[in-house]
């Protein structure tokens, strides 16, 4: 069964190097644009509930604006050993529409 993708934004809604909070599948998600590539992770930082879409984005790492926890936006994995992860989601572009599917499966490098 194919995952249902839902439209959450236009490619023009989020400038490169920025994020935006969107709703998909009843969940708040942080959607990021990095040089025309879009990535979606959980909006809520697991530390204290900070809004990840408002965090600082450098390369593919977003840093929570509240307490500086950081995550790769393409996998949801922490950028340091023993950190907590956030969920990451499939993203598809159709024309100028940005669509979000369901959970990705991320693996740590061993």
List, as one string, the DSSP characters of 12-33. Answer: TSS-TTEEEEEEETTEEEEEEE
The pLDDT assigned to 57 comes to 96
29 is a domain residue: yes
109 is a domain residue: no
First-to-last alpha carbon distance for the chain, in angstroms, is 31
36 is a domain residue: yes
pLDDT tens across 26-64, in order?
A: 999 999 999 999 999 999 999 999 999 999 999 999 999
Compute the distance between CA of residue 49 and CA of residue 23 in angstroms, rounded to an integer. Answer: 16
Show Cβ contacts of residue 101 under 8 Å, excluding neighbours closer than 6 positions.
Answer: 3, 4, 5, 89, 90, 91, 92
Q: pTM of the predicted model, to two decimals?
A: 0.91
63 is a domain residue: yes
Mean pLDDT of 70-84: 94
Does residue 92 register a pLDDT over 50? Answer: yes
43 is a domain residue: yes
The pLDDT assigned to 110 comes to 39
76 is a domain residue: yes
The pLDDT assigned to 1 comes to 52
């Amino acid at each position: 069964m194919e995952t249902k993708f839902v439209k959450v934004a236009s490619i023009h809604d989020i400038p490169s190097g920025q994020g935006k909070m969107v709703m998909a599948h009843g969940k708040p998600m942080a959607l990021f644009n990095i040089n025309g590539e879009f990535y979606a992770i959980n909006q809520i930082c697991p530390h204290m509930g900070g809004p990840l879409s408002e965090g600082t984005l450098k390369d593919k790492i977003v840093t929570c604006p509240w307490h500086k926890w950081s995550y790769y936006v393409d996998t949801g994995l922490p950028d340091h050993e023993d950190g907590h992860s956030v969920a990451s989601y499939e993203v598809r572009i159709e024309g100028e529409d940005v669509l979000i599917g369901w959970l990705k499966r991320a693996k740590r490098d061993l």
